[in-house]
Amino acid sequence: MQTVDLASQAEQLAAGETTSVDLTERSLAAIDALQPTLNAFITVDRDGALTAAAAADQRRAAGQPLSSLDGVPIAHKDIFCTAGVKTTCGSRMLESFVPPYNATVVERLAAAGLVMVGKTNMDEFAMGSSNETSFYGNVGNPWDTTRSPGGSSGGSAAAVAAGIVAGATGTDTGGSIRQPAALCGITGFKPTYGRASRYGMIAFASSLDQAGTLTRTAKDAALLLDHLCGFDPKDSTSLDVAAESFSATLDKPLTGLRIGVAEAFYDDGLAPGCRDALEQALDQYRSLGASVASVELPHLYLSVPTYYVVAPAECSSNLSRFDGIRFGHRADDCNDLTELYTRSRSEGFGDEVKRRIMTGTYVLSSGYYDAYYLKAQRARQLISGDFAAAFEQVDLIAGPTAPTPAFGLGDKVDDPVTMYLNDIYTIGANLAGLPAMSLPMGTVDGLPVGMQLIGPALSEARLLNAAHGYQSVTEWHRATPNVFSGAES
């Protein structure tokens, strides 16, 4: 069961070899078995899932499935509002928040018949690269539970890698889909900024946040994205572009595909094993008929400092709504309004969130706005310009997703800058609003490592085609951790 992917589950349902109730029960049983070691879920919606599964089975029996994925179980990152189901965003601040409405992403996947089994663990308000800032505890990496699954979508990545569900949603502001996908040996996809709706997705940094998928294969990503993406009038930054079937062009030959590699991705922090795996992946692409050429991304080195001005600035504004009155945890027994605000926010937010709010407030303050925020916006333009120039020469850019395989839980928590550097290769695509993905490309010390593919705006179909081509001739995406026997012993 652990190795089953979305496409196979859909085929089994279509062939009458299984039912949605059966798949859902197996998924719920896997959550129970693995929650003590992985802690991948914050909330499990057992009753809701079984009711939705029974309805999916009825539709199928009546010959009216909503889509090919009708009845397939998935999980949602706990950043997406789910009507009637607790949505914490990994924070104490929202410990008892039950949204009255669904995020558009949740709504769209439910409209395709997908069954939500629960809400996955994540870094608090999606701020983190290791899932260790969650108020609900660490998530274990299924390949080695003493290691981090990455973050902030660490629960979704661990749930898919462990085979609890074949697909899950995530969000990516600076790498939070791609980096955990890399560290857990699965495929993670972040669409072009604006291609998936942000409505009902709790905001971290609104000009960077984007919803996407964590799945075992690129084909599964395409199947989910076909439903997840699309214009939404409820999101003012949603792109009003024609709908496209990403799964329709997966098998196009890769002959003539032009891949760029940038020296900027090969810095001192890149583990030699990751570099070797990437070289082999590029050879694989050459043998599929692609060409590989070098491109320049001269300002990419500015992406981490730029991000850590822009993202905190936006977060300090977005998180001001959590004041204990309009939203969020309210402190008891306060004597006046100031004490209520101060104590509610002090108790509700964890250290990393407070650090970002303080940084963001500082860079936006009148005396420092020009020196930091405005300067960061200029650097952001330079980074976007680099990508635009590179995409005049190549169709996509390949590089590593993260500098190293999964690191140990606790290894980086006390050093925020080292933690921030884990996103050094992923942040550029967010700053430029580009679609990007991570796919398994090998192992280093027995742990999976990911290759990142970045494309020009709206090139999702091309990226998925390139990733599927690679996965058609490699087996890395099929490797699974032996987490079930670990959990049982």
Residue ranges binding ligand GLN (CB under 6 A): 126-129, 152, 172-176, 204, 311, 423
* DSSP H/E element including 466: helix 460-473
Query: Who contacts 454 (Cβ-Cβ below 8 Å, separation ≥6)?
Result: 387, 396, 397, 399, 428, 429, 434, 435, 436
Q: For residues 10 and 424, which CB has a smaller minimum distance to ligand GLN in the complex?
A: 424
Strand 73-77 and strand 115-120: pairing?
A: parallel
**Helix (H) or strand (E) segment spanning residue 262:** strand 258-262
Our CB check for ligand GLN shows the closer of 178 and 299 to be: 178
Instruction: Give residue 196's identity as a one-letter amino acid code.
Output: A
Amino acid code (one letter) for 423: D
In the complex, least distance from residue 167 CB atom to ligand GLN, rounded to whole angstroms: 19
Between 138 and 471, CB nearer to ligand GLN: 138
Q: How far is the CB of 179 from ligand GLN (least distance, A)?
A: 7
Judge whether 152 counts as a catalytic residue: yes
Residue 438 in 3-state DSSP?
A: strand
Nearer to ligand GLN, 180 or 456 (CB): 180
Catalytic residue among 20, 27, 68, 77: 77
Residue closer to ligand GLN, measured from CB, 153 or 471: 153
Sequence-distant (6+) residues with CB within 8 A of 198 are: 206, 209, 210, 211, 235, 237, 238
**Contact call for residues 147 and 408 (beta carbons, < 8 A):** yes
Q: Are residues 220 and 72 in contact, defined by beta-carbon separation less than 8 angstroms?
A: no
Q: Active-site residue among 176, 238, 303, 344?
A: 176
Nearer to ligand GLN, 19 or 156 (CB): 156
User: Is 316 a catalytic site residue?
Assistant: no
Question: Which residue, 154, 144, 163, is CA-closest to 124?
Answer: 154
Q: Which is nearer to ligand GLN, 53 or 126 (CB)?
A: 126
d(CA 144, CA 447): 8
Nearest to 81 by CA among 89, 93, 70, 72: 89
Question: For residues 439 and 464, is the Cβ–Cβ distance under 8 A?
Answer: no
- The whole-angstrom separation of Cα 72 and Cα 165 is 9
Q: Is 489 a catalytic residue?
A: no
Active-site residue, from 91, 130, 148, 152: 152
Grouping H, G, I as helix, E, B as strand and the rest as coil, residue 198 is coil
Shortest CB 174 distance to ligand GLN, Å: 3
- List active site positions: 77, 152, 176
